[in-house]
A and B are shown apart, each in its own frame.
Chain A
Amino acid sequence: MSTEYHGEIKKMMIILSKATLENVYAAFVLANGARMEGIEAEIFFTFFGLEAIHSKKLEHLHVATVGNPAMHMPTMLGGLPGMEALATSMMKKEMEKIDMPDIHEFLDILVASGVKLWACRLAMDMFHYKKEDMYEGLSDVITVGDFYKYGSGEGTHMLFV
Chain B
Amino acid sequence: MEKMIAGKTIAVNEEGYLTDFSQWDKAVAEEIAKENNVELTPRHWEVISYLQGEHKNQVALSIRKIGKSNVVDIKEFYALFPNGPLKISTKIAGIPKPASCL
Contact = CB atoms under 8 A, between A and B. Distances in A.
A68 interface: no
A109 B63 contact: yes
Contacts, number: 41
Contacts of B73: 112
Contacts of A113: 63, 74-75, 78
Contacts of B83: 38
A52 to B, nearest CB: 17
A36 B74 CA distance: 11
Q: Report the interface size class on chain B.
A: 10 to 19
Nearest to B81: A38
Interface string A125-151: 000000000000000000000000000
A100 B62 CA distance: 10
Contacts of A36: 63, 84-87, 101
Given A36-B84, A109-B67, A112-B74, 16 more contacts: A29-B101, A29-B102, A32-B101, A33-B101, A35-B78, A36-B101, A37-B84, A99-B102, A100-B102, A101-B102, A109-B63, A109-B64, A109-B74, A113-B63, A113-B78, A114-B75
Interface of A: 29, 32-33, 35-38, 99-101, 105, 109, 112-114
10 contacts: A35-B78, A36-B86, A37-B84, A38-B82, A38-B83, A105-B64, A109-B64, A109-B74, A113-B75, A114-B75
